[in-house]
Structure 1
Amino acid sequence: MLAIQKAIRRVHTSLDAPRLTRFTLQAPKNVEVEYANGSKFNLSAEFLRIHSPAVDGKVRSVGGEKVIVGRRHVGIMSAEPVGNYGVRMIFDDLHKTGIYTWDFFYHLGSNKFTLMRNYIKTLKKHGLSRDPPRRK
């Protein structure tokens, strides 16, 4: 049991993000985060919205996969600090329940291209779009 706890601690430590040095909300379209190791990420509102860490009532379950669609033009209205570990983003589609930690921002930034490519592949596979539905 002790060996497992040490292994978990070792893995967890190796995955921790470096210390955040700067967070900039460039409303309404993106967020910029910078870390002590020199990593700097510019994350779009759409990207942050579709990877929200919160459960969302607007998520479609398609073929067993949960997909948020139609968020290409979503904007960020504000970002409220939550303790010393993250922010709550409030989007203009009124989604506001996700808390984005500094570690989660680092994960998103480090894997941005892979995550977005997989998202677009999933949408295409199910015939869905990043664009919002047209109003009649």
Structure 2
Amino acid sequence: MIVRTLEEIQGSERDVRGDVWRSRRMLLRSDGMGFSLHDTVITEGTEQTLEYKHHFEANYCIAGEGEVVVVATGKTYPIKPGTLYALDKNDRHILRATKGDLRLVCVFYPPLTGTEVHRPDGSYAPAEELDTKA
């Protein structure tokens, strides 16, 4: 059984930050669950264009408000606590935090290793590429 608290992850190598986000990585590929689970906070008033070409991602909002825009169609979906959005087609999207910091519980498949950084196109490298660097 794996038991972790957010408190013990804060400040560890599993507490990863970018310019406008912070991801506390509760489960990673090394945990052997087949998916990774993250507690992610997006800073209010910011937006990011992302496209996870090699991963599927589901996000469940637990705090704040924002919106996600599907780049291909321009369709905009509001996000508030209790909203789930899933990128089931590796959708290129814009994520905005509009009212308070947007806090999401995120699931990635295949699981993240924890060392990924966003590429210029907003994607993460495929796991196989990261394996060759290990």
Same fold (TM over 0.5): no
If each structure's helix is expressed as a fraction of its own residues, which one has the higher value?
Answer: 1
Pick the TM interval, shorter chain.
under 0.3
If each structure's strand is expressed as a fraction of its own residues, which one has the higher value?
Answer: 2
Larger Rg: 1
